[in-house]
Structures are given as C-alpha cells and as structure tokens.
C-alpha cells in the first residue's frame, strides 16, 4: 500500500496564488503461481495517480487535477529451449480519470474517464552464441467512457491500436572485436487520432534504429552509440488537435 501527498502551487495562470493538496492511498496486489519451474502464471491489480505536469493549465487558468487510474492484468511466462528463449503474454484493462488533452491554443482539457484494453506479447532470448533477439507486439483498444463534451465511445487521443518492435543483437564471441556489440531494430506504430473528437488521424510509421557498444574496461566502463531513424524518414510521434510533433531526422 502506497500513501502519497501532493501539493500544487499555481503562481502563473492567475494573479492570486492558489494552493491545493491531495492525499492519495494507492493499493496494489499480485499473485504468481508456478506449476512448473519453467512456467509461471500471474495476475495483478493496482490503483494509482499521475500528478499534473507543471505549466499545463485549463482554459480558466486553473491547474489540472491529478489523473487517477486502476488496472488489472493477467499473464503467462514460459522459458523454453533450455531456457534460452523467454515468452510472455499478458492481457490488461486500465481505467483512467482526468486524462489530459491539449488544444491548439495551448490550454488543456480533461477527459472524464478513459478505458484501455489490450494484449501484449514478448519474446526475449538467445538464438545462437552471441546472437540475441528481442521482439514485442501490443494490441490496444481505447474508449472515452465518460465525457461532458459528448465524445463517449470515441477513441482516446494518441493511442495506436497496433505497436510492434523487433531487435537483433550480436556480440562477437572471440577475437579482437569480442568486446564489441552491435544491434539493429525495427519499430512500427499504427495510425492514431490526435484528439477525442477523432477528426484528425496521424499516419502509421515504421522506423529503423541501431546501436553499438564497446567495453573499454569490462562491464564497468562501456562506450555506446545509439542511432535513431537510420533511413531519415519523416514521421509524426503524436499530435494535439491540428498540431503535430515529428520524430528526429538528420
């Protein structure tokens, strides 16, 4: 059980200083069952909150209220092929209240309640000596479940239905380059809406990333290089109504 106290001071949006405080109790519980030493089943339930980001205000100048959430998740994990490969699958449901949403004027609105349901799959392991694999896929459906503006039933903003990634990592097993590790990965994010009115759609994108590292003094000192968007593709990461945020390019 977690107890949190949040104090908010609003000194920018209004001439008079406004103070507010929140006391939040966040319980969580989990259960893991292992019918085999290579197989485990789990379930969790948790409640929590997210404090508002400083500098974000409602149209009337007030600070945003904390967003609260509760989540329930269940899954399975299996270590196969002599524990060289780990497979994980999970289903979940998350309900959030006071979800923040920006508008084109720079102010924020808060959606009454939003709900997400989804499935996640992940594989991590070693295919051969020095060759590693990490991949994941998620399918998520979202819905505005309570809203005073009349958008109940619409999708939540910036929530892609499909998201996946696949990474391969190779470490030279011996020789002069045995301290070198190189990796490459593909990231895919499906199209998503920029606001709860679902009027504007951000297109899907596929991005190619890479990385390399070299051990200068064993695991204590490692020099790394990360390259994102190797093909210099223009893509949008998120949006607020008609304003779009693009990913890094050269």
| Residues 65, 52 contacting (CB under 8 angstroms) | yes
> Which of 128, 123, 125, 134 lies closest to 211 in space, CA to CA?
134
Question: What per-residue confidence (pLDDT) applies to 87?
Answer: 97
Residue 219: which residues within 8 A CB-CB, separation 6 or more?
none
Question: What per-residue confidence (pLDDT) applies to 61?
Answer: 73
pTM for this predicted structure: 0.80
CA 62 to chain centre: 27
> Which of 209, 196, 182 lies closest to 239 in space, CA to CA?
196
Under the phi-then-psi rule, with left for phi > 0, alpha for psi from -120 to 50, and beta for the rest, what region is 237?
Answer: alpha
Rounded to the nearest 5°, which phi and psi values hold at 143? Answer: -155, 135
Question: What per-residue confidence (pLDDT) applies to 250?
Answer: 62
| Residues 196, 111 contacting (CB under 8 angstroms) | yes
CA 146 to chain centre: 23
The separation between the first and the last C-alpha atoms of the chain, rounded to the nearest angstrom, is 46
Q: pLDDT of the chain along its 250 residues, tens only?
A: 989 887 777 665 455 666 767 778 889 999 999 999 999 999 999 998 888 777 777 777 777 778 889 999 999 999 999 889 999 999 999 998 888 777 767 778 888 889 999 999 999 999 888 899 999 999 999 999 988 778 899 999 889 999 999 999 999 887 778 889 999 999 999 999 988 888 889 999 999 999 999 988 777 899 999 999 999 888 888 877 666 778 776 6
Residue 42: which residues within 8 A CB-CB, separation 6 or more?
30, 31, 32, 33, 74, 75, 76, 77
Question: What per-residue confidence (pLDDT) applies to 196?
Answer: 83
| Residues 195, 201 contacting (CB under 8 angstroms) | no
């Amino acid at each position: 059980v977690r107890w949190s106290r949040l104090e908010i001071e609003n000194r920018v949006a209004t001439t008079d200083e406004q103070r507010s405080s929140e006391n939040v109790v966040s319980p969580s519980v989990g259960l893991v069952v292992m019918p085999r030493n290579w197989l485990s089943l789990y379930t969790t339930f948790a409640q929590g909150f997210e404090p508002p980001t400083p500098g974000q205000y409602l149209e009337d100048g007030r600070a945003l209220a904390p967003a609260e959430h509760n989540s329930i998740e269940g899954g399975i994990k299996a270590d196969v092929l002599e524990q060289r490969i780990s497979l994980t699958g999970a289903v979940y449901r998350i309900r959030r209240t006071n979800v923040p949403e920006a508008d084109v004027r720079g102010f924020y609105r808060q959606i009454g309640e939003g709900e997400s349901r989804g499935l996640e799959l992940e594989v991590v392991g070693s295919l051969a000596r020095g060759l590693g694999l990490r991949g994941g896929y998620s399918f998520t459906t979202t819905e505005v479940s309570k809203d005073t503006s009349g958008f109940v039933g619409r999708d939540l903003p910036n929530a892609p239905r499909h998201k996946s990634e696949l990474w391969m990592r190779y470490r030279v097993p011996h020789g002069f380059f045995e301290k070198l590790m190189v990796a490459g990965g593909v990231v895919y994010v499906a199209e998503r809406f920029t606001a709860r009115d679902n009027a504007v759609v951000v297109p899907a994108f596929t991005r190619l990333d890479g990385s390399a590292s070299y051990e200068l003094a064993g695991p204590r000192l490692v020099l790394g290089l990360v390259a994102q968007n190797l093909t210099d593709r223009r893509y949008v990461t998120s949006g607020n109504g008609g304003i779009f945020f693009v990913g890094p390019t050269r």
